[in-house]
Amino acid sequence: MKYLIVGLGNPGSEYNHTRHNIGFDIVTQAAQETGGVFKTDSLAEIAEGKWKGRTLVFIKPTTYMNLSGKAVHYWMQKLKIPVENLMVIVDDIHLDLGKLRLRDKGSDGGHNGLKDIQAKLGHSNYIRLRVGVGKDFFPGQQVTYVLGKWKNDEKEAVEVMITKSITAIKNYTTMGLKLTTDQLNR
């Protein structure tokens, strides 16, 4: 079985380890843990890992956040990945730092990356792991906040969140969505 695991973020060193790029950070570490090595390919950096007999294809779109759907659609088609084997990992300012939410459908929640994926797929029925980055910003400062680096006192919570996210990826590919969601919410 083959899965497409997409971490959303922006390419470029200026975006490394920002709140908006938590998806990139999660898939980077997940790929390392499953034997994958990233290489640049069409519309994305891509790595293939193995986990308990499953093939996990990790991508980090190089299209920038607002055009993520282009890369997701391309790789789904190229690798013949059914939508039920797609997981998108995305930052979420509506969740407290460290909180994770796994869903098989839903709105874009105002997130431009999810909006573009929904537009390219023609629906919003795909699995997404929303990763809480908090909302410690003043009105009108959202862009500055999500493109900002983690504060020192947040870094431990970020590492725990990355570890839990990787466990959720592995569990989803072996146990399915329902059991993974139940375990994550416990």
Catalytic positions, written as ranges: 20
CA-nearest of 107, 174, 100 to 130 is 100
> What whole-number distance in Å separates Cα of residue 145 and Cα of residue 86?
28
> What sections of 35-154 are H helices per DSSP?
68-79, 112-121, 142-146
As given in the structure block, the two tokens for residue 67 are 């055009």
Beta-sheet pairing, 39-41 with 44-51: antiparallel
